[in-house]
Amino acid sequence: MKKEGKHTLHPDKWIDLYADYLYNFTIAKVSKQEVSKDLVQETFFAGLKSMKSFEGKASERTWLISILKRKIIDYYRKINSNKGKAEVRMNFYSDGENEGDWLEERVPQTWGSDADKKMENEELGNALNNCIEKLPEKYAMVFKMKTLQDFSTEQICKDLGISSSNLWVIIHRARTQLRRCLEDNWFVK
């Protein structure tokens, strides 16, 4: 790519130059290999289709990423609209005089004594990873971006097209669900 003047597009080199970069960018957010692969492919196709609208202001890679970001938002919207299918079980009363209180059967249980802290090892990390994988996809996506990849709130909201209050609700649901999953699968037998 030239430093001066306008950038140009070379679709014949896209796959060699950017396939891995775009794939990594996608899998960090989507985490499903099959989906990531499809999104990368769609991005290349879309790039090809809209080559005429490329103005040469940004580099080829930046331009492709901007297309990919739109594809990720579209994907997120799609899974987000599949309501009910993967809804998280509630932990709190949603109405009545106890609204907002812990549901009796969902109340946190003690996780064993301090001696167990030694158990904060790889195995427990793996148990937690398994629990993350069990989260509904839309929650897992936001939770991972925020917690494991340290994206800023603003960035995630921008990338996924959600509001910040929406983001915190999702994080909250993901965390209460994870806590519960760890408790069921690890601490309380």
Binding site for another protein (CB under 8 A): 11-12, 14-15, 19-20, 23-24, 27-28, 31, 37, 40-41, 44-45, 48, 91-92, 99-102, 107-108, 110-111, 120-122, 124-126, 128-129, 132, 144, 146-149, 153, 168-169, 171-172, 175-176, 178-179, 182
CB nearer to another protein: give 55 or 97.
97
Beta carbon of residue 89, minimum distance to another protein (angstroms, whole number) = 14
Contacts of 28 (CB under 8 A, 6+ apart): 144, 145, 149
CB nearer to another protein: give 82 or 87.
87
What is the residue type of 61? R
Beta carbon of residue 78, minimum distance to another protein (angstroms, whole number) = 21
How far apart are alpha carbons 148 and 155 in whole angstroms? 14
**In terms of C-beta distances under 8 Å and separation of at least 24 residues, what long-range contacts does 27-32 make, across chains too?**
28/144, 28/145, 28/149, 29/72, 29/141, 29/144, 29/145, 29/159, 30/72, 30/75, 30/141, 31/140, 31/141, 31/144, 32/137
CB nearer to another protein: give 86 or 119.
119
CB nearer to another protein: give 56 or 108.
108
CB nearer to another protein: give 47 or 80.
47
Beta carbon of residue 174, minimum distance to another protein (angstroms, whole number) = 9
Beta carbon of residue 72, minimum distance to another protein (angstroms, whole number) = 15
The three-class DSSP label of residue 117 is helix
Token digits of residue 145: 């971006």
